Structure 1
Amino acid sequence: MNKVEIQLSKTKLLLGIGGSILFVVLGIWLFTHSYDFQNTTSRLPQNPTFIKTIGILGVLFFGGTGTFGIRKMFDDKAGLIIDDTGITNNTNASSIGLIKWSDITKIRTGQVGSTKFLLIYTKKPNYYLNKVKGFRRKLMEGNNRMYGTPLSITSNTLKCKFSDLEKLLNEKLIEQREKMPNR
Protein backbone atom coordinates (compact mmCIF):
# COMPACT_ATOMS: atom_id res chain seq x y z
CA MET A 1 0.00 0.00 0.00
CA ASN A 2 1.17 3.46 -0.71
CA LYS A 3 1.39 5.87 2.16
CA VAL A 4 -1.49 8.34 2.14
CA GLU A 5 -1.08 11.64 3.96
CA ILE A 6 -4.00 14.00 4.45
CA GLN A 7 -2.94 17.47 5.54
CA LEU A 8 -4.64 19.70 8.08
CA SER A 9 -6.85 22.36 6.50
CA LYS A 10 -5.72 25.81 7.64
CA THR A 11 -9.01 27.26 6.34
CA LYS A 12 -11.13 24.91 8.46
CA LEU A 13 -8.88 25.58 11.45
CA LEU A 14 -9.25 29.37 11.00
CA LEU A 15 -13.04 29.04 10.83
CA GLY A 16 -13.01 26.95 14.00
CA ILE A 17 -10.78 29.47 15.78
CA GLY A 18 -13.10 32.29 14.70
CA GLY A 19 -16.13 30.42 16.01
CA SER A 20 -14.34 29.70 19.29
CA ILE A 21 -13.47 33.38 19.72
CA LEU A 22 -17.11 34.36 19.17
CA PHE A 23 -18.30 31.86 21.78
CA VAL A 24 -15.64 32.97 24.28
CA VAL A 25 -16.84 36.56 23.84
CA LEU A 26 -20.46 35.38 24.30
CA GLY A 27 -19.45 33.49 27.46
CA ILE A 28 -17.77 36.60 28.87
CA TRP A 29 -20.83 38.67 28.00
CA LEU A 30 -23.15 36.17 29.72
CA PHE A 31 -20.94 36.23 32.82
CA THR A 32 -20.81 40.03 33.01
CA HIS A 33 -24.49 40.55 32.16
CA SER A 34 -26.01 37.69 34.15
CA TYR A 35 -28.21 40.02 36.22
CA ASP A 36 -29.75 41.51 33.07
CA PHE A 37 -31.78 38.30 32.67
CA GLN A 38 -33.68 38.75 35.93
CA ASN A 39 -37.33 39.78 35.72
CA THR A 40 -37.51 39.47 31.97
CA THR A 41 -40.39 37.94 30.10
CA SER A 42 -38.04 35.78 28.04
CA ARG A 43 -38.17 31.99 28.21
CA LEU A 44 -34.45 31.90 29.01
CA PRO A 45 -33.32 30.98 32.55
CA GLN A 46 -33.33 34.01 34.84
CA ASN A 47 -31.06 32.76 37.64
CA PRO A 48 -27.83 34.86 37.53
CA THR A 49 -25.75 32.03 39.02
CA PHE A 50 -26.93 29.68 36.27
CA ILE A 51 -26.19 32.29 33.58
CA LYS A 52 -22.71 32.91 35.03
CA THR A 53 -22.03 29.16 35.09
CA ILE A 54 -23.02 28.85 31.43
CA GLY A 55 -20.72 31.79 30.64
CA ILE A 56 -17.78 30.23 32.49
CA LEU A 57 -18.32 26.82 30.88
CA GLY A 58 -18.51 28.46 27.45
CA VAL A 59 -15.26 30.36 28.03
CA LEU A 60 -13.48 27.21 29.26
CA PHE A 61 -14.74 24.91 26.51
CA PHE A 62 -14.39 27.28 23.57
CA GLY A 63 -11.17 28.73 24.96
CA GLY A 64 -9.83 25.17 24.90
CA THR A 65 -11.02 24.48 21.35
CA GLY A 66 -9.61 27.83 20.19
CA THR A 67 -6.26 27.10 21.83
CA PHE A 68 -6.21 23.66 20.19
CA GLY A 69 -6.97 25.26 16.81
CA ILE A 70 -4.20 27.83 17.21
CA ARG A 71 -1.70 25.09 18.11
CA LYS A 72 -2.78 23.06 15.07
CA MET A 73 -2.30 26.10 12.80
CA PHE A 74 1.43 25.85 13.48
CA ASP A 75 1.56 22.05 13.35
CA ASP A 76 3.45 20.86 10.26
CA LYS A 77 2.57 17.18 10.78
CA ALA A 78 0.00 15.60 8.49
CA GLY A 79 -3.46 15.38 9.99
CA LEU A 80 -3.80 11.72 9.07
CA ILE A 81 -1.31 9.17 7.78
CA ILE A 82 -2.53 5.85 6.42
CA ASP A 83 0.04 3.16 5.65
CA ASP A 84 0.67 -0.59 6.04
CA THR A 85 1.15 -0.23 9.80
CA GLY A 86 -2.10 1.57 10.51
CA ILE A 87 -3.69 4.99 10.87
CA THR A 88 -1.70 7.77 12.51
CA ASN A 89 -4.24 10.27 13.75
CA ASN A 90 -3.39 13.92 14.41
CA THR A 91 -6.87 15.39 13.77
CA ASN A 92 -8.35 16.24 17.15
CA ALA A 93 -7.63 16.90 20.82
CA SER A 94 -7.97 13.22 21.73
CA SER A 95 -5.69 11.91 18.96
CA ILE A 96 -3.22 9.30 20.20
CA GLY A 97 -1.06 8.70 17.15
CA LEU A 98 -0.78 5.26 15.56
CA ILE A 99 -3.76 2.90 15.58
CA LYS A 100 -2.53 -0.45 14.25
CA TRP A 101 -4.53 -2.25 11.56
CA SER A 102 -4.06 -5.48 13.49
CA ASP A 103 -5.94 -3.93 16.44
CA ILE A 104 -8.88 -2.53 14.46
CA THR A 105 -12.05 -4.65 14.49
CA LYS A 106 -14.39 -2.25 12.69
CA ILE A 107 -14.95 1.34 11.62
CA ARG A 108 -18.37 2.94 12.06
CA THR A 109 -19.81 6.39 11.48
CA GLY A 110 -21.03 8.46 14.41
CA GLN A 111 -22.80 11.78 14.38
CA VAL A 112 -23.52 14.59 16.84
CA GLY A 113 -25.74 17.26 15.33
CA SER A 114 -24.43 17.83 11.83
CA THR A 115 -20.89 16.70 12.68
CA LYS A 116 -19.93 13.24 11.47
CA PHE A 117 -16.92 11.30 12.71
CA LEU A 118 -15.45 7.83 12.35
CA LEU A 119 -15.39 5.54 15.36
CA ILE A 120 -12.44 3.14 15.35
CA TYR A 121 -13.17 -0.03 17.32
CA THR A 122 -10.18 -2.07 18.49
CA LYS A 123 -9.40 -5.30 20.28
CA LYS A 124 -7.51 -3.32 22.94
CA PRO A 125 -9.32 -0.09 23.83
CA ASN A 126 -7.56 0.11 27.22
CA TYR A 127 -4.16 0.02 25.50
CA TYR A 128 -5.06 3.26 23.71
CA LEU A 129 -6.68 4.81 26.79
CA ASN A 130 -3.53 4.13 28.81
CA LYS A 131 -1.40 6.05 26.29
CA VAL A 132 -2.83 9.40 27.47
CA LYS A 133 -3.49 11.24 30.72
CA GLY A 134 -5.39 14.26 31.95
CA PHE A 135 -7.99 16.01 29.84
CA ARG A 136 -7.26 13.93 26.73
CA ARG A 137 -7.94 10.76 28.70
CA LYS A 138 -11.23 12.21 30.01
CA LEU A 139 -12.28 12.97 26.42
CA MET A 140 -11.43 9.44 25.34
CA GLU A 141 -13.17 7.86 28.36
CA GLY A 142 -16.30 9.84 27.51
CA ASN A 143 -16.10 8.61 23.93
CA ASN A 144 -15.68 5.05 25.20
CA ARG A 145 -18.77 5.33 27.44
CA MET A 146 -20.93 6.84 24.69
CA TYR A 147 -19.80 4.79 21.69
CA GLY A 148 -17.93 1.75 23.00
CA THR A 149 -14.56 2.96 21.71
CA PRO A 150 -12.17 5.68 22.84
CA LEU A 151 -10.96 6.33 19.29
CA SER A 152 -12.49 8.70 16.78
CA ILE A 153 -11.36 10.51 13.66
CA THR A 154 -12.96 13.62 12.24
CA SER A 155 -12.47 15.33 8.90
CA ASN A 156 -13.32 18.73 10.41
CA THR A 157 -9.66 19.73 10.46
CA LEU A 158 -8.56 17.85 7.33
CA LYS A 159 -8.26 18.79 3.68
CA CYS A 160 -10.84 16.21 2.64
CA LYS A 161 -14.55 15.54 2.70
CA PHE A 162 -15.95 13.18 5.31
CA SER A 163 -17.39 10.81 2.68
CA ASP A 164 -13.96 10.50 1.00
CA LEU A 165 -12.27 9.80 4.34
CA GLU A 166 -14.88 7.21 5.30
CA LYS A 167 -14.52 5.41 1.96
CA LEU A 168 -10.70 5.48 2.07
CA LEU A 169 -10.42 4.07 5.59
CA ASN A 170 -12.98 1.33 5.00
CA GLU A 171 -11.20 0.31 1.77
CA LYS A 172 -7.82 0.25 3.53
CA LEU A 173 -9.25 -1.83 6.40
CA ILE A 174 -10.59 -4.41 3.93
CA GLU A 175 -7.24 -4.39 2.08
CA GLN A 176 -5.34 -4.98 5.33
CA ARG A 177 -7.68 -7.77 6.43
CA GLU A 178 -7.00 -9.60 3.16
CA LYS A 179 -3.28 -9.47 3.98
CA MET A 180 -3.82 -10.94 7.48
CA PRO A 181 -5.23 -14.48 7.09
CA ASN A 182 -5.21 -15.16 10.85
CA ARG A 183 -7.72 -12.45 11.68
Structure 2
Amino acid sequence: MAKPVGRTKFIPIKEVSKVDHKSDSVRANGFLISVFCYRKILLTSMLDSKININMHTTGQIEIPLSKSKMTLMFIGSLAFVVTGFLLVFSPGITIGGKFYNSTIIFITGIVAILFFGACAIMIFNKLRDNKAGLIINKTGIIDNSSGISAGHIPWTDIIEITTLDIVNQRFLMIVIDNPNHYIQRQKNPLKRKAAEINFKNYGSPISISANALKLNFNELEILLQTQLSNNKLQ
Protein backbone atom coordinates (compact mmCIF):
# COMPACT_ATOMS: atom_id res chain seq x y z
CA MET A 1 0.00 0.00 0.00
CA ALA A 2 1.34 3.43 -0.90
CA LYS A 3 2.55 5.57 2.00
CA PRO A 4 0.75 8.90 2.48
CA VAL A 5 2.63 11.89 1.24
CA GLY A 6 3.96 13.93 4.15
CA ARG A 7 2.94 17.48 4.63
CA THR A 8 5.22 20.21 3.39
CA LYS A 9 6.72 22.15 6.30
CA PHE A 10 6.77 25.90 5.81
CA ILE A 11 9.41 27.85 7.73
CA PRO A 12 8.40 31.39 8.68
CA ILE A 13 10.31 34.17 6.96
CA LYS A 14 11.91 35.28 10.24
CA GLU A 15 13.22 31.77 10.91
CA VAL A 16 14.55 31.52 7.35
CA SER A 17 16.50 34.74 7.82
CA LYS A 18 17.93 33.41 11.10
CA VAL A 19 19.01 30.19 9.43
CA ASP A 20 20.60 32.09 6.53
CA HIS A 21 22.32 34.42 8.99
CA LYS A 22 23.75 31.48 10.93
CA SER A 23 24.88 29.81 7.70
CA ASP A 24 26.61 33.01 6.58
CA SER A 25 28.30 33.26 9.96
CA VAL A 26 29.48 29.67 9.79
CA ARG A 27 30.75 30.17 6.24
CA ALA A 28 32.55 33.39 7.27
CA ASN A 29 34.18 31.73 10.25
CA GLY A 30 35.17 28.77 8.11
CA PHE A 31 36.70 31.12 5.55
CA LEU A 32 38.71 32.98 8.23
CA ILE A 33 39.95 29.68 9.68
CA SER A 34 40.97 28.52 6.21
CA VAL A 35 42.85 31.78 5.57
CA PHE A 36 44.61 31.50 8.93
CA CYS A 37 45.61 27.89 8.31
CA TYR A 38 46.82 28.72 4.79
CA ARG A 39 48.90 31.61 6.15
CA LYS A 40 50.44 29.35 8.79
CA ILE A 41 51.23 26.64 6.24
CA LEU A 42 52.71 29.23 3.86
CA LEU A 43 54.92 30.73 6.59
CA THR A 44 56.02 27.28 7.74
CA SER A 45 56.89 26.16 4.22
CA MET A 46 58.74 29.43 3.58
CA LEU A 47 60.84 28.98 6.70
CA ASP A 48 61.23 25.26 6.15
CA SER A 49 62.90 25.92 2.81
CA LYS A 50 65.67 27.82 4.56
CA ILE A 51 65.68 26.56 8.14
CA ASN A 52 66.45 23.11 9.50
CA ILE A 53 63.39 22.31 11.64
CA ASN A 54 63.08 19.30 13.92
CA MET A 55 59.64 19.88 15.38
CA HIS A 56 58.76 16.22 15.92
CA THR A 57 61.35 15.54 18.60
CA THR A 58 62.76 18.62 20.34
CA GLY A 59 60.91 21.48 18.63
CA GLN A 60 64.28 23.08 17.97
CA ILE A 61 64.79 25.48 15.05
CA GLU A 62 68.25 25.75 13.50
CA ILE A 63 69.23 28.46 11.01
CA PRO A 64 72.42 27.64 9.09
CA LEU A 65 75.19 30.10 8.34
CA SER A 66 75.27 31.34 4.75
CA LYS A 67 78.71 30.65 3.28
CA SER A 68 77.90 32.65 0.15
CA LYS A 69 76.97 35.78 2.14
CA MET A 70 80.09 35.48 4.29
CA THR A 71 82.31 34.98 1.25
CA LEU A 72 81.04 38.24 -0.26
CA MET A 73 81.64 40.05 3.05
CA PHE A 74 85.14 38.58 3.24
CA ILE A 75 85.97 39.80 -0.28
CA GLY A 76 84.55 43.23 0.55
CA SER A 77 86.65 43.47 3.72
CA LEU A 78 89.81 42.53 1.80
CA ALA A 79 89.02 45.22 -0.79
CA PHE A 80 88.84 47.85 1.97
CA VAL A 81 92.13 46.58 3.43
CA VAL A 82 93.79 47.00 0.01
CA THR A 83 92.29 50.50 -0.22
CA GLY A 84 93.74 51.25 3.21
CA PHE A 85 97.23 50.28 2.07
CA LEU A 86 96.85 52.50 -1.01
CA LEU A 87 95.86 55.41 1.24
CA VAL A 88 98.83 54.83 3.57
CA PHE A 89 101.29 55.27 0.72
CA SER A 90 99.37 58.12 -0.92
CA PRO A 91 100.93 61.63 -0.80
CA GLY A 92 97.47 63.18 -0.63
CA ILE A 93 94.13 63.03 -2.35
CA THR A 94 91.50 65.44 -3.65
CA ILE A 95 87.84 64.57 -2.96
CA GLY A 96 85.04 66.86 -4.13
CA GLY A 97 87.48 69.68 -4.83
CA LYS A 98 88.95 69.52 -1.31
CA PHE A 99 92.53 68.39 -0.79
CA TYR A 100 93.37 66.07 2.11
CA ASN A 101 97.01 66.02 3.11
CA SER A 102 99.13 62.92 3.56
CA THR A 103 98.76 62.83 7.37
CA ILE A 104 94.96 62.64 7.26
CA ILE A 105 95.07 60.10 4.45
CA PHE A 106 97.68 58.04 6.31
CA ILE A 107 95.56 57.90 9.48
CA THR A 108 92.45 57.01 7.44
CA GLY A 109 94.38 54.21 5.74
CA ILE A 110 95.63 52.79 9.05
CA VAL A 111 92.11 52.82 10.50
CA ALA A 112 90.77 51.06 7.40
CA ILE A 113 93.48 48.40 7.56
CA LEU A 114 92.93 47.70 11.26
CA PHE A 115 89.13 47.72 11.21
CA PHE A 116 88.50 45.82 7.99
CA GLY A 117 91.46 43.55 8.65
CA ALA A 118 89.84 42.51 11.94
CA CYS A 119 86.52 42.02 10.10
CA ALA A 120 88.24 39.84 7.48
CA ILE A 121 89.82 37.66 10.18
CA MET A 122 86.50 37.18 12.00
CA ILE A 123 84.68 36.37 8.78
CA PHE A 124 87.41 33.93 7.72
CA ASN A 125 87.14 32.11 11.06
CA LYS A 126 83.35 32.04 10.75
CA LEU A 127 83.62 30.55 7.25
CA ARG A 128 85.23 27.48 8.81
CA ASP A 129 82.45 27.19 11.40
CA ASN A 130 80.02 24.37 10.58
CA LYS A 131 77.70 25.00 13.53
CA ALA A 132 74.24 26.53 13.07
CA GLY A 133 74.22 30.31 12.98
CA LEU A 134 71.18 30.55 15.23
CA ILE A 135 69.36 27.95 17.34
CA ILE A 136 65.92 28.59 18.83
CA ASN A 137 64.41 26.20 21.36
CA LYS A 138 62.27 26.14 24.50
CA THR A 139 65.08 27.45 26.71
CA GLY A 140 66.04 30.45 24.57
CA ILE A 141 68.23 31.57 21.68
CA ILE A 142 71.76 30.30 20.97
CA ASP A 143 73.51 33.02 18.97
CA ASN A 144 76.41 32.00 16.73
CA SER A 145 75.63 34.42 13.90
CA SER A 146 78.68 36.70 14.03
CA GLY A 147 82.21 37.17 15.31
CA ILE A 148 80.89 38.62 18.57
CA SER A 149 78.05 36.16 19.13
CA ALA A 150 76.33 36.16 22.53
CA GLY A 151 75.92 32.40 22.93
CA HIS A 152 72.94 31.15 24.92
CA ILE A 153 70.29 33.77 25.77
CA PRO A 154 67.46 32.39 27.96
CA TRP A 155 63.93 33.67 27.25
CA THR A 156 63.73 34.73 30.89
CA ASP A 157 66.57 37.24 30.32
CA ILE A 158 64.93 38.90 27.31
CA ILE A 159 62.78 41.99 27.92
CA GLU A 160 62.04 42.79 24.28
CA ILE A 161 63.43 42.63 20.75
CA THR A 162 63.75 45.92 18.86
CA THR A 163 64.86 46.86 15.33
CA LEU A 164 67.87 49.08 14.67
CA ASP A 165 68.91 50.63 11.34
CA ILE A 166 72.54 51.75 10.92
CA VAL A 167 73.83 52.89 7.50
CA ASN A 168 71.40 50.68 5.53
CA GLN A 169 72.13 47.73 7.83
CA ARG A 170 69.34 46.27 9.97
CA PHE A 171 69.86 44.60 13.32
CA LEU A 172 67.66 43.02 15.98
CA MET A 173 68.66 44.33 19.40
CA ILE A 174 68.01 41.73 22.11
CA VAL A 175 67.18 43.90 25.14
CA ILE A 176 68.04 41.96 28.30
CA ASP A 177 67.69 42.62 32.02
CA ASN A 178 71.33 41.74 32.87
CA PRO A 179 73.53 43.35 30.16
CA ASN A 180 76.74 43.36 32.24
CA HIS A 181 76.63 39.57 32.47
CA TYR A 182 76.73 39.28 28.68
CA ILE A 183 79.44 41.93 28.37
CA GLN A 184 81.72 40.19 30.86
CA ARG A 185 81.04 36.84 29.23
CA GLN A 186 83.04 37.98 26.18
CA LYS A 187 86.57 36.72 26.90
CA ASN A 188 88.22 38.55 24.00
CA PRO A 189 88.98 42.21 24.97
CA LEU A 190 88.01 43.52 21.52
CA LYS A 191 84.71 41.63 21.55
CA ARG A 192 84.02 42.83 25.11
CA LYS A 193 84.66 46.42 24.03
CA ALA A 194 82.33 46.01 21.05
CA ALA A 195 79.60 44.70 23.38
CA GLU A 196 80.13 47.70 25.69
CA ILE A 197 79.81 50.11 22.77
CA ASN A 198 76.62 48.38 21.63
CA PHE A 199 75.12 48.67 25.12
CA LYS A 200 76.13 52.32 25.54
CA ASN A 201 74.87 53.48 22.14
CA TYR A 202 71.94 51.18 21.41
CA GLY A 203 70.72 49.87 24.76
CA SER A 204 71.90 46.25 24.50
CA PRO A 205 75.21 44.39 24.12
CA ILE A 206 73.49 41.80 21.91
CA SER A 207 72.65 42.45 18.26
CA ILE A 208 71.66 39.85 15.68
CA SER A 209 71.49 40.41 11.93
CA ALA A 210 70.68 38.23 8.95
CA ASN A 211 73.93 39.15 7.19
CA ALA A 212 75.48 35.72 7.71
CA LEU A 213 72.30 33.63 7.96
CA LYS A 214 70.35 31.67 5.36
CA LEU A 215 67.25 33.85 5.58
CA ASN A 216 66.44 37.53 5.15
CA PHE A 217 65.93 40.11 7.87
CA ASN A 218 62.12 40.18 7.74
CA GLU A 219 61.92 36.41 8.13
CA LEU A 220 64.37 36.57 11.04
CA GLU A 221 62.38 39.32 12.76
CA ILE A 222 59.04 37.50 12.40
CA LEU A 223 60.55 34.25 13.64
CA LEU A 224 62.23 35.70 16.76
CA GLN A 225 59.29 37.94 17.72
CA THR A 226 56.87 35.02 17.37
CA GLN A 227 59.07 32.65 19.36
CA LEU A 228 59.58 35.28 22.08
CA SER A 229 55.83 35.82 22.43
CA ASN A 230 55.10 32.09 22.49
CA ASN A 231 57.75 31.28 25.09
CA LYS A 232 56.98 34.27 27.31
CA LEU A 233 53.39 33.02 27.62
CA GLN A 234 54.52 29.58 28.85
- TM range, normalised to the smaller chain? over 0.9
Paired residue total: 176
Residue 118 of structure 1 and its aligned partner are, at CA, apart by 0.2
Residue 42 of structure 1 and its aligned partner are, at CA, apart by 4.8
Residue 93 of structure 1 and its aligned partner are, at CA, apart by 2.1
For residue 201 of structure 2, the aligned residue among 146, 150, 156 is 146
For residue 218 of structure 2, the aligned residue among 163, 170, 174 is 163
Residue 109 of structure 1 and its aligned partner are, at CA, apart by 0.4
Q: Does 1:26 align with 2:83?
A: yes
Alpha-carbon distance in structure 2 between the residues aligned to 1:42 and 1:36: 13
Alpha-carbon distance in structure 2 between the residues aligned to 1:119 and 1:164: 15
After TM superposition, where is structure 1 displaced by more than 2 Å over at least 4 residues in a row? Answer: 40-45
Give the conservation status (yes or no) of the 8 Å contact 1:3–1:84: yes
Q: Which residue of 2 aligns with 1:97?
A: 151
In structure 1, stretches of 5+ residues that fail to align are none
Matched position secondary structure for 2:153: strand
Q: Which residue of 2 aligns with 1:61?
A: 115
Measured at CA, do residues 88 and 53 of structure 1 come closer, stay the same or move farther in structure 2, by a change above 3 Å? Answer: same
Give the conservation status (yes or no) of the 8 Å contact 1:104–1:123: yes
Sequence identity of aligned pairs in percent? Answer: 39
Equivalent AA in structure 2 for residue 124 of structure 1: N
Equivalent AA in structure 2 for residue 11 of structure 1: S
CA displacement 1:112-146 (0-9 Å, x = unmatched) = 11110100001111111110140001100100011
For residue 186 of structure 2, the aligned residue among 102, 115, 132 is 132
In structure 2, stretches of 5+ residues that fail to align are 1-57
Alpha-carbon distance in structure 2 between the residues aligned to 1:85 and 1:72: 25
Give the conservation status (yes or no) of the 8 Å contact 2:92–2:101: no
Which residues of 2 match residues 44-83 of structure 1 at below 5 A?
44-83=98-137
User: Per chain length, whose mean CA-contact separation is higher, i.e. which structure has more relative contact order (CA < 8 Å, sep 6+)?
Assistant: 1
TM-score relative to the length of structure 2: 0.72
Q: Does 1:7 align with 2:7?
A: no
TM-score relative to the length of structure 1: 0.92
Residue 43 of structure 1 and its aligned partner are, at CA, apart by 3.3
Residue 32 of structure 1 and its aligned partner are, at CA, apart by 0.8
Q: Which moved more, 1:90-99 or 1:164-173?
A: 90-99
Alpha-carbon distance in structure 2 between the residues aligned to 1:42 and 1:174: 50
Q: Which residue of 1 aligns with 2:163?
A: 109
Larger Rg: 2
